[in-house]
Structure 1
Amino acid sequence: MRAFGTAGLPEGHRCRRTGHCGVPPDTVPAMCPNPTSTGRNRDGSPRTTHARRPLQVSSTSPSRLLRTGQSGRCRGCGHRIDWYQRNDQRPIALHPTEMPSAHVPASCHWHLSSGIAHPHSDGSAWCRIPHAVLCPRRTPTTRINTHLEALRRQLAVRTRRLIDTGAFTPPTPPAGSEPPADNGRPTRPVVQLLLGRYLADRPLEDIRCVAQTRQRRRCPQPVLDPHTPAGIWMLLPASPQRGQLALPAAVMAVYDLGRLPYAEQLRWRTQRCPTHAAAPGDADIALAGWQVFDPLLHAEHIHTRLPHASTGRREEG
């Protein structure tokens, strides 16, 4: 049997805070907190901790992008925007909050379904609106009402406050056409894959994988892998794609991936490294930086000469 003192404590008990043994008689003992974690529960049972696992997206989901990778900031006004993919896999920036459908023109109604943005109303009293309609740095292409005009003025005031406090710096307007990078390498090359042409948002060597790692970070591996087949720089006619206007006869430098296997072209289109391309269950933490190339809208990115020191082989078209 274990002996207890007059205060109801075991003999030899030492207070963890004061270091004294026992307590004076007729004194209620004070509770001494233990700030250090012992790894056990109050009843003495071991405390189990579950390892945090990265999020995954179902293979049947139409959108592979995680919600954490959909938020961003507008480069023109500095306000928060939400990026979503459309049916054609092209991104669109939407205003982060819903708005009453009665205050938004029908041509600006958007709704979300399974992570995909659709350019029409879903019949509810609320809808989403593209940020380009409300951005104070842009001129709206559609006629807006007084409610949207008032919201544009509020965003303009907030942008001015961000600039005055130094939290946001507006971009400088371009002085002319975009100069090529070192060695004649285009900063935004045109890539041909999957029977179409796409404009990259950065040089080929700098295109990173958009998949999420187990540490919940973006994969640092490049899409251009030296152990996979490379494309060919070619001079091809600047012919328009379906639904685009024709240009005068001219040639342009294109990084052609059309001769590669379909799986390799799909890996480039989804912007994944070879490791994550073999793991379709891993989710994306960022949007792919491709844009459907339009020779009229992207005329400043057309280069009529092949790069001097470029990635892949060179071949005259």
Structure 2
Amino acid sequence: MHPHPASRHWDGSPRHTQPRRSLRVAPTSPSRLLRAGQSGRCRACGNRLEWYPRSDDRHRPIALHPAEAPTAAVPASCHWHLSCGTAYRHGDGSAWCRLPHAVLCPHRTTTRLTPHVEDLRRQLALRTRRLLDTGAFTPRPAAAPTAPAAPCRPTRPILQLLSIRYLAAHPVDAIRCVAQTRHRHRCPHPVLAPAFPGTWRLLPTGPAHGQLMLPDQAMAVYDLGHLPYDEQLRWRAQRCPTHATSPGAADLALPEWEVFDPLTHHQHLHQRLPTTRRRAGRS
């Protein structure tokens, strides 16, 4: 008795299989982030969500509910629509819109909305309860209070590149590449390259978006402005030197830069260089 080949069913009938296609990103796409990098699960309720960059000047990511909702049944303040991979606030004139996950998350307390939104919240709450009962989801425990970082070792440093100051989400040596490897995982290599290091400088705070000048004070900035232009573009794209020369590799995460605002991010101002050693007995 000979086994049936993989191209046929157990009864010998032909098996019709669709050819596998690899994920590709169009060269004209404004965002090189794959769909696999945009989807995820809420750490509070376990439900699925999708991340998209906003259309504001900072391009901050926003978590949207994967399914669309009728525009007439959703408050106008919750209307979002997508265009070329970017999320825009309010509707685009169509009968359907997207909702922020923060409005539907059962873990959050929100004001009473329309019946349709309340029904979606109940559905997500039931799904969360089902995930908890089956053990498929474990809520993230509350973070234990940690001691504040020493001023000379900023956990969220300020970087200057392409004449713009950015607030990083991790220390300089821990900023990770966002490109996808051949095994479809995120690249584990850091963006920092020993051949092109930056320089820590004490620079003035400067004005905040054309507003009044803040008190004249210096802050520690990791300056990359002296590097070549291509190297600064690599930093802004948040790619390691290997993937900087691989335009075909897509991104599995959004770059974590945030345009620095001295008024909003005043808690991240440090007046001591990280390379400066503290004197004995000083805190």
Same fold (TM over 0.5): yes
Q: Partner residue of 1:187?
A: 155
**Preserved CA contact (<8 Å) 2:112 2:118:** no
Q: Partner residue of 1:96?
A: 66
3-state SS of paired residue (1:148): helix
Q: Which moved more, 1:159-168 or 1:230-239?
A: 159-168
Residue 80 (1) aligns with residue 48 (2): yes
Q: Partner residue of 1:130?
A: 100
Displacement of 1:70: 0.5
Q: Which whole-Å CA distance do the structure 2 matches of 1:284 and 1:305 have between them?
A: 35
Q: Partner residue of 2:219?
A: 252
Q: Which whole-Å CA distance do the structure 2 matches of 1:80 and 1:294 have between them?
A: 32
In structure 2, the gaps of 5 or more residues are 7-18, 278-283
Paired-residue identity, %? 64
Distance 1:35 1:154, change over 3 A: closer
Q: Which residue, 252, 255, 265 being the options, matches 1:288?
A: 255
Displacement of 1:306: 1.6
3-state SS of paired residue (1:268): helix
Q: Which moved more, 1:60-69 or 1:251-260?
A: 251-260
Question: How high is the TM-score relative to the length of structure 1?
Answer: 0.70
Aligned residues: 262
Q: Deviations over 1:18-39 (max 9, x none)?
A: xxxxxxxxxxxxxx133798xx
Q: Which whole-Å CA distance do the structure 2 matches of 1:104 and 1:210 have between them?
A: 35
Q: Write out aligned runs for 1:190-209 (5 A).
A: 190-209=158-177
3-state SS of paired residue (1:205): helix
Q: Which moved more, 1:129-138 or 1:251-260?
A: 129-138
Q: Partner residue of 1:236?
A: 203
3-state SS of paired residue (2:40): strand
Displacement of 1:137: 4.5
Q: Which whole-Å CA distance do the structure 2 matches of 1:79 and 1:245 have between them?
A: 44
State the one-letter code of the partner of 2:261.
D
State the one-letter code of the partner of 1:34.
P
Q: Which residue, 57, 61, 75 being the options, matches 2:25?
A: 57
Q: Which residue, 216, 220, 245 being the options, matches 2:188?
A: 220
Q: Which whole-Å CA distance do the structure 1 matches of 2:91 and 2:34 have between them?
A: 24
Displacement of 1:170: 3.6
Aligned residues: CA RMSD? 3.3
Q: Partner residue of 1:70?
A: 38
Q: Which residue, 15, 27, 33 being the options, matches 2:2?
A: 33
Displacement of 1:219: 1.9
Q: Which whole-Å CA distance do the structure 1 matches of 2:211 and 2:132 have between them?
A: 39
State the one-letter code of the partner of 1:302.
L
State the one-letter code of the partner of 1:285.
L
Q: Which whole-Å CA distance do the structure 1 matches of 2:276 and 2:127 have between them?
A: 45
**Preserved CA contact (<8 Å) 2:208 2:262:** no
Q: Which residue, 233, 253, 265 being the options, matches 1:266?
A: 233
Displacement of 1:53: 7.9
Q: Which whole-Å CA distance do the structure 2 matches of 1:157 and 1:245 have between them?
A: 50
Q: Which whole-Å CA distance do the structure 2 matches of 1:160 and 1:295 have between them?
A: 42
Distance 1:246 1:159, change over 3 A: farther
**Preserved CA contact (<8 Å) 2:204 2:216:** yes
Q: Which whole-Å CA distance do the structure 1 matches of 2:104 and 2:207 have between them?
A: 31
Q: Which whole-Å CA distance do the structure 2 matches of 1:63 and 1:109 have between them?
A: 22
**Preserved CA contact (<8 Å) 1:76 1:171:** no
Distance 1:252 1:265, change over 3 A: same
**Preserved CA contact (<8 Å) 1:54 1:215:** no
Q: Partner residue of 2:91?
A: 121
3-state SS of paired residue (2:72): helix
Q: Deviations over 1:42-88 (max 9, x none)?
A: xxxxxxxx9x8853312211111001110123344443221112344
Q: Which whole-Å CA distance do the structure 1 matches of 2:188 and 2:199 have between them?
A: 24
**Preserved CA contact (<8 Å) 1:185 1:309:** no
